[in-house]
Amino acid sequence: HGPAAIDVCLVNKEEDDRTKYRSILGVPLGIAEPLAEGGWYFWQINKAYVAARPLNGKAEFGPVTHVDDKKGLVPVESKTHRYLVSPGKVGGWVMQAGQQPEYPTLDEFKSAVLQKCKVAAELNEEKPEVTFSTLDGTELKLRHTGGPGGRPEAWTNGKALDYANWPVCENPYVQEAQGSGILKLTDGHNSLTIDFSGDWPKFVETSDK
């Protein structure tokens, strides 16, 4: 919701070479080391800020592996990311973003998150539940329903999410309503609308000026 998110990871099978009790946050290389305080990690990327908190309260940078059917367990090698790994059968993250000039410095963003963002997590293995009060006062609540392949129960300020009308995509740059077949892309100055509702796609370019 806006600049905040909840991610819950439930590993509902025995740990083995294929299954590891962990949740992983990929962190791009080239940004500064995070500030760590109050269970949160804080980064600045140009004029933007990101805060992440592992739900089970612990995480550290380290290697991760995956299973290759021919080679067995192999390390994940990335030239673009390193990995913040939070152990546990039930875990995940809450994340909050911010930007300048609302928060002129990373320290001011950090102070605001520590003061205003509240997390309550019930990490039981049946239906893990997380409530997250965000920087702008929005209350997000998510309950994992067990999966795999299912959808969580989720609420924004007490209102349940309506999956029947959930947009295919909705952000300032790309929008497509559920069932519309019409995709709009914009950079704030010019737009491209692609209509997939007919036999062939139709492309319409417009100016937003």
Distance CA 74, CA 59 (A): 21
Phi and psi (nearest 5°) for 142?
-135, 135
The arithmetic mean of pLDDT across residues 180-194, rounded, is: 91
Max mean pLDDT among 10-24, 27-41, 157-171 falls in: 27-41
Does 209 have pLDDT greater than 70?
no
- Of residues 67 and 30, which shows the higher confidence score? 30
The arithmetic mean of pLDDT across residues 54-80, rounded, is: 85
- pTM greater than 0.85: no
**Of 136, 130, 135, 129, whose CA–CA distance to 42 is shortest?**
135
Instruction: Give the model confidence (pLDDT) of 29-44 as tens digits.
Output: 999 999 999 999 999 9
Quick check: 48 and 99 in contact, CB under 8 A? yes
